[in-house]
Amino acid sequence: MVSIGTPAQQFKVVLDTGSSNLWVPSHSCWSPACWVHSTFKSADSSTFAKNGTAFDIQYGSGGVSGIESGDNVDLGGLVVQGATFGEATTLSGVSFLAAQFDGILGLAFDTISVNHVEPIFYAMVRQKLIEDASFSFFLTKEAGQAGSELVIGGVDPAYAKSEFKYYDLAMENYWFINMTGLSIGDYNTQDNLHAIVDSGTSVIVGPKDIIAKMTAELPATLDCTKMDTYPDLTFTLGQDEYVLKPAEYILNVENTVCQLGLIGMELPPQLGNAFILGDSFMKTYYTHFDMANKRVGFALSA
């Protein structure tokens, strides 16, 4: 939940480490998705500052466009003064219509911020709202289960069952690190691998050709009752192995219906064979996004 303006207007947002901008639907939006979500009413805020610069953001599941505005933004009780955010006037894509969130708050680097807008986390650091320029995600094991937490300014040891191991960023755009190998069943590869740690993606995404070879290690039709017979999926970072059990990368949609949480997608070639480690990975490993030291850390989730 994020609050914008004075008095505060509340919005449900996706806390997304795969993007860098904050946007919420504008009260002047006429897209159907805006009709079923909370919208920002600039006239109701005494701290609103008009900007008017146009913005356009494209995601894998749709796009948003509108105008930039300025106001106070409250995340977890930390109030950023005069933050720049997007008021979306157009939302395209059916995913936004069905979404259980109003907007998106990006937590990646300013290098990929649309219009070079200062990300909210950067503003928190600049305004000295936190001493430790890092944050961490603890995700519950089941979708919709209460207890997931964003810790701003470090980690909470109660969420970790092991010591953190850290990996330096390969680039400062996404939370992008090198990966030294992956394996599932009899298939393994070490070919130019990288990982993007992305809280805004629910599953594991990778190059189409590699994903095809990975899925070939599994039956064409998954049987929920035979979950334990399927192979583990292992990602290697440095010399460290991070294992996902079948129940952690196969989605149990209903009691008898299972869906493979591995999706093939062509990412920009400059990213190499990049995998997106989404929520199915982060549910298993408590993740520390350390901007101050330009690294990502993982510990086994409690």
List, by residue number, the catalytic residues. Answer: 16, 198
Nearest 5°: the CA angle 161, 163, 169 is: 120
